[in-house]
DNA sequence: CGTTCACTTGACTTGGCTCAATTCAAGTGG
DNA sequence: CCACTTGAATTGAGCCAAGTCAAGTGAACG
């Protein structure tokens, strides 16, 4: 047998154009204030929910940065299996590749603003390159972390880790630790079970079962399907496998 | 149950010093020719087989680049589960992190030469930063690819993918395709089954079984345990799931 | 020639996948 | 306001790929 959800991954609306966003001077172009004279300007674009910014294989002549919103990068195998390889938020950079084509597809999770830079000009602007690098290094570490999740964690640990990532300021390098007296948080997931599953390397059923298990244990409550109330953040953190 | 090989991952020789390599001017320091006047010089170090360059949590005041040899980056979970997050060869960059400490450990697979740059000076040298960036972008794409492997591929597909990565110039962006008349190759793995397993998110037994299965199918022959003869590269490539 | 260390193989167990209903939430229209 | 549709999430039953545990094999070395 092949493996997980081969026939289940939803096939996105296919319109194989080559560059989704309008080129310079077509629509919604906002000049960014340049830090120096030679600083390349980025074009600011608004992309609606579930809009594709580019697809795997498209000509990679631009580099993007998230201004606000949320973007996911994913790759597909020929038989339809999908893996979400990165979840991006404000500041994160995407579209980087050593090849002339993108290695993955980029789709917004919610309506978002992104800045598009000309690839060649980024490589010639030390200042911009340096500013982007800081974010890229953070993303590298996030990818390392995610490899551990995909390679070594159980389903429950994966879901617990995912939920913890949605709790701001906890579980990271400088976690404040358990706050005394009601260490709870309300978390908006902003993704369907299928999207979460494709990010965590699971099936949507397994993700659902993990949420149910967490609820059964009294660690979370599911308010509105997309909204999770974490009763005890610290206890949840224990379940991630990282502590 | 927790999950895979919790008690099996070998615990490396533990000597919790903070910076493994000698600082400037201690041993084996070779000045690199500087491209410009202000170009920061790197210190060249020779590291023996299975030598640690740094460990997760060490003070991250340097950035490294592989000159020759092979380096693996890995992370450990508190219970001992290990995931190899990157396999690096000549040109690859490591030690990048937004935090003041390394997010993973770096260990050589074979005796290697690496260049160590002062972190602060790299961030101030546009020229060096640009040169490193090209490699970093390639590594980002490799991490995306690896996330697909870890999240969505079967054991046999993972091992087939791994072996294909060891065949130079095949299976990539511009694969020449099946060569007429005896499309075979000899591949040196350079890793133990345990290391391969920790890279592929499997157990060493499963890796062993996958190799045996490939041999049973007549696709490979195992000459000297570390050396694999691939009889039909193209047929192997089919098994990776990517084609 | 025995010890060691890495690898292989077999028997058994199990976590997560597959398939198949149900349930739930949010429209839509009569 | 209530039936009906639709899409997402949940739950259950059964199965299989990969993990665990336990021998067994084989090459390397003193």
Render pLDDT for A30-64 as a digit per residue (tens, 0 to 9): 444 444 445 678 899 999 999 999 999 999 999 99
Q: What is the pLDDT of residues B49-58, one digit of tens each?
A: 999 999 999 9
Is residue A102 classed as helix, strand or coil in its secondary structure?
Answer: coil
Q: Are residues A117 and A220 in the same domain?
A: no
- Identify whether B83 is part of a domain: yes
Please tell me the distance from the alpha carbon of residue A133 to that of residue A128, in angstroms, as a whole number: 8
Taking a C-beta distance cutoff of 8 angstroms, is the pair B57, B106 a contact? no
CB of B81 lies under 7 Å from some atom of strand D: no
- Report pTM: 0.88
- Within 8 A of B198 by CB-CB distance, chain A residues are 151
Q: Which two tokens stand for residue A24?
A: 């310079």
Helix%, strand%, coil% for chain A, nearest 5: 30, 25, 45
Q: What is the pLDDT of residues B93-125, one digit of tens each?
A: 999 999 999 999 999 999 999 999 999 999 889
| Phi, psi of B13, rounded to the nearest 5 degrees | -50, 120
Q: Are residues B179 and B195 in the same domain?
A: yes
Closest CA to B19 of B59, B63, B66: B59
- Identify whether B172 is part of a domain: yes
| Phi, psi of B229, rounded to the nearest 5 degrees | -100, 120
Question: How sure is the predictor about A243, in pLDDT bands with cuts at 50, 70 and 90?
Answer: confident
Taking a C-beta distance cutoff of 8 angstroms, is the pair B89, B70 a contact? yes
Q: Which two tokens stand for residue A95?
A: 């579209």
- What lies within 8 Å, CB to CB, of A89 at 6+ separation is A66, A69, A70, A71
Taking a C-beta distance cutoff of 8 angstroms, is the pair A69, A111 a contact? yes
When divided into structural domains, chain A yields a total of 2
Q: How far is CA B25 from CA A107, B33, B67, B121, B180, in A?
A: 50, 16, 19, 17, 54
Taking a C-beta distance cutoff of 8 angstroms, is the pair A190, A183 a contact? no
Residue A55, domain extent:
29-146
Kindly report the nearest CA distance between residue B117 and chain A, in angstroms: 16
State mean pLDDT over B125-149.
Answer: 96
pLDDT (0 to 100) of residue B158: 98
pLDDT (0 to 100) of residue B243: 86
Percent of chain A residues past pLDDT 70, beyond the cut: 78
- The CATH code of the domain that includes B78 is 2.60.120.10
Please tell me the distance from the alpha carbon of residue B150 to that of residue A85, in angstroms, as a whole number: 11
Domain end call among A146, A163, A187: A146
pLDDT (0 to 100) of residue B5: 45
Q: Establish if A138 touches chain B: CB-CB under 8 angstroms.
A: yes
First to last CA, chain A: 35
Residues 196-225 of A with CB under 7 A from strand D: 204-205, 207-209, 211-212, 222, 225
As ranges, strand C nucleotides with an atom below 7 A of a protein CB are: 6-11, 14-20, 25-26
Q: Are residues A190 and A93 in the same domain?
A: no
Q: Are residues A134 and A161 in the same domain?
A: no
- Within 8 A of A85 by CB-CB distance, chain B residues are 143-144, 147-148
- Identify whether B36 is part of a domain: yes
Name which of A75, A98, A201 is nearest B144 (Cβ-Cβ): A75
Across the interface, whether the CB atoms of A143 and B147 are under 8 A apart is answered yes
Q: Are residues A119 and A37 in the same domain?
A: yes
Residue B76 has pLDDT above 50, yes or no: yes
- Within 8 A of A74 by CB-CB distance, chain B residues are none
Please tell me the distance from the alpha carbon of residue B187 to that of residue B226, in angstroms, as a whole number: 8
Closest residue in chain B to residue A199, using alpha carbons only: B151
Domain end call among A106, A129, A146: A146
- Identify whether B229 is part of a domain: yes
Please tell me the distance from the alpha carbon of residue A63 to that of residue A211, in angstroms, as a whole number: 36
Please tell me the distance from the alpha carbon of residue A162 to that of residue B4, in angstroms, as a whole number: 20
Judged by average pLDDT, the poorest of A25-34, A96-105, B66-75 is A25-34
Question: How sure is the predictor about A228, in pLDDT bands with cuts at 50, 70 and 90?
Answer: very high
Please tell me the distance from the alpha carbon of residue A3 to that of residue B157, in angstroms, as a whole number: 10
Name which of B2, B75, B126 is nearest A154 (Cβ-Cβ): B2
Question: How sure is the predictor about A27, in pLDDT bands with cuts at 50, 70 and 90?
Answer: very low
Closest CA to B197 of B49, B2, B4: B4
Task: Calculate Rg over the CA atoms of chain B.
Answer: 19
Domain end call among A146, A164, A194: A146
Question: How sure is the predictor about A224, in pLDDT bands with cuts at 50, 70 and 90?
Answer: confident
The sign one gets for the Cα dihedral A97, A77, A92, B94 is negative
- Identify whether B86 is part of a domain: yes
Question: How sure is the predictor about A223, in pLDDT bands with cuts at 50, 70 and 90?
Answer: confident
Q: Are residues A123 and A189 in the same domain?
A: no
Q: How far is CA A224 from CA A187, A205, A228, A229, B226, in A?
A: 11, 18, 7, 10, 54
Q: Are residues B90 and B119 in the same domain?
A: yes
Q: Are residues B59 and B108 in the same domain?
A: yes
Name which of A1, A77, A123 is nearest B152 (Cβ-Cβ): A77
- Within 8 A of B141 by CB-CB distance, chain A residues are 96-99, 103
Q: Are residues A183 and A112 in the same domain?
A: no
């Amino acid at each position: 047998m092949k493996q997980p959800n081969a026939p289940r991954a939803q096939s996105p609306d296919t319109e194989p154009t080559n560059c989704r966003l309008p080129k310079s001077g077509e629509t919604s172009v906002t000049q960014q204030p340049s830090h120096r004279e030679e600083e390349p300007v980025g074009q600011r674009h608004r992309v609606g929910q579930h809009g594709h910014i580019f697809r795997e294989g498209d000509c990679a002549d631009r580099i993007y940065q998230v201004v606000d919103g949320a973007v996911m990068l994913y790759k597909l195998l020929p038989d339809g299996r999908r893996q979400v390889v990165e979840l991006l938020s404000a500041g994160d950079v995407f579209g980087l590749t050593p090849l002339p084509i993108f290695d993955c597809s980029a789709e917004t999770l919610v309506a978002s603003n992104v800045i598009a830079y000309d690839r060649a000009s980024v490589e010639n602007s030390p200042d911009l390159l340096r500013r982007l690098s800081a974010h890229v290094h953070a993303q590298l570490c996030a990818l390392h972390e995610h490899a551990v999740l995909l390679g070594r964690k159980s389903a429950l640990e994966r879901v617990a880790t995912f939920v913890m990532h949605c709790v701001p300021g906890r579980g990271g390098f400088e976690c404040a630790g358990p706050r005394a007296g009601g260490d709870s948080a309300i978390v908006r997931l902003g993704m369907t079970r299928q999207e979460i599953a494709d990010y965590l390397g699971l099936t949507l059923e397994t993700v659902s079962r993990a949420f149910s298990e967490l609820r059964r244990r009294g660690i979370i409550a599911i308010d509105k399907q997309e909204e999770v109330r974490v009763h005890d953040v610290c206890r949840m953190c224990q379940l991630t496998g990282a502590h």
